[in-house]
Structure 1
Amino acid sequence: MNRARPSPQRGFSLIVVLLMLLIAMVLGIGAAQVSLVGERSARNDRDAEVAFQAAEAALVDAERDVLGPNQAAAQRLCLFNSRDVSAFVAGCGGAGIHQGLCTQAEDGAKPVWITADFAAESRTSVAYGTFTNHTYATANAGARGGALSARAPRYIVEAVRNLGGWQSSQLQSAGARNASHLFRVTAIGYGVRDETQVVLQTSLYKPAASPGCPS
């Protein structure tokens, strides 16, 4: 009596099925990784946009601080005089109404905005709304706030010597008596995550003292 031998095709079919399952698993893992990378990229883009908008808001707040109009009780418009920058100190180390007012760095030294302290507890940079009484919505401490910044943006103001005049056709005198200054604002904004940061900068020209201030 002869016994039937198993067909070799059955074993081959099993190998093909296993290979197809392996390929499907690899493709699934790859698709999942691509999806995760895309989600992470979108989250980072959103975070950077939140930080950018916060930094822009700080520039606007600084413009109100320097140029006005500013009706806040804490306003300090009279400190921003293009001919008198005695309120500005080295290292932005002022206190009270002098907070965040910085003299220009000496030639060859690192720019002030690079060495300035923008930490939340810093007294050498200004938090949004400190002198304008405006508020900026931020996430609650220790919680995620969706599209809200982790904390309020901050800025400093430097008194920068105006060497060439605001208008290209009007050169300023080189004499110290006639020296005038621009006010360079450096602002930093934060994303949903505190480590996401955007720094923006602008220069403000104030040709005359604010109303009610000595010229």
Structure 2
Amino acid sequence: MLDCLGAKQNGATLAVTLVLLLIVSVLGISAVQMSLVEEKMSGNLRDKHIAFEAAETALIRAEATLDEILEYSTPTYDGSSGIWIYGGPGGINWWIANSDSWWVANSESVVPNSLQSSAPQYIVEERAVSQRGEDLKVGNGEIPQARYYYQITARGYGGSSDTRVHLRTTYIKRYD
């Protein structure tokens, strides 16, 4: 009687084993694919951080350059004085719209580190001037000295030239 029961179950074990093997294989392949996607994501995030640090370096360099200027320099539409007239580089979103070659030709560069694909760059624009004696409507007094407001736009690159970060800051400078 045992022989009859065993004869009926010969193929069932093989079928169940193959189905389980298929399920485990699908799970393994899915895990590998998820791992590859996560690796790409972490690589892109690292690249973005490198570009961000590069842009911050360019901002710091631009601020240091403005600190070193002792006398007021008249801004120009072509940036030949190192300072652009506000809106001189182009229209709305000019920092994105202008090409890489425009940035190379018209911006100031900072020495890159070995992780960056290109040198960080920056543009300085004069935004406004608050003349001596003007009232800012804040506090209880006049401006004792003229203040020049500069907008610094920096561009940093990551390990790939496709990874770019644009940062912007406003810098206030007084000339004696």
Residue deviations 1:23-82 (CA, integer Å, cap 9, x gap) = 1110110110111111111111111111111011001110111112xxxxxxxx25x62x
In terms of fraction of residues, the more helix-rich structure is 2
1:136 paired to 2:118 = no
Q: Secondary structure at the match of 2:117?
A: coil
Q: Aligned runs of 1:161-180 on 2, under 5 Å?
A: 161-162=128-129, 168-169=138-139
Q: 5+ unaligned residues in a row in structure 2: which ranges?
A: none
1:102 paired to 2:84 = yes
Do the aligned residues in 2 keep the contact of 1:104 with 1:112 (CA within 8 Å)? no
Aligned-pair distance for 1:122? 2.5
In terms of fraction of residues, the more strand-rich structure is 2
Cα 1:166–1:118 shift into 2, 3 Å: farther
Task: Normalising by structure 2, report the TM-score.
Answer: 0.78
Q: Secondary structure at the match of 1:205?
A: strand
Structure 1 residue corresponding to 2:157, chosen from 183, 190, 212 = 190
Equivalence for 1:124: 106
Q: Secondary structure at the match of 2:104?
A: coil
Equivalence for 1:54: 54
Do the aligned residues in 1 keep the contact of 2:76 with 2:85 (CA within 8 Å)? yes
Equivalence for 1:158: 125
Q: Which runs of 4+ in 1 moved over 4 A?
A: 114-118, 163-167
How many residue pairs get aligned? The number is 166
Equivalence for 2:11: 11
Task: Write the distance in 2 (CA, Å) between the matches of 1:162 and 1:32.
Answer: 59
Q: Percent identity?
A: 32
Task: Normalising by structure 1, report the TM-score.
Answer: 0.65
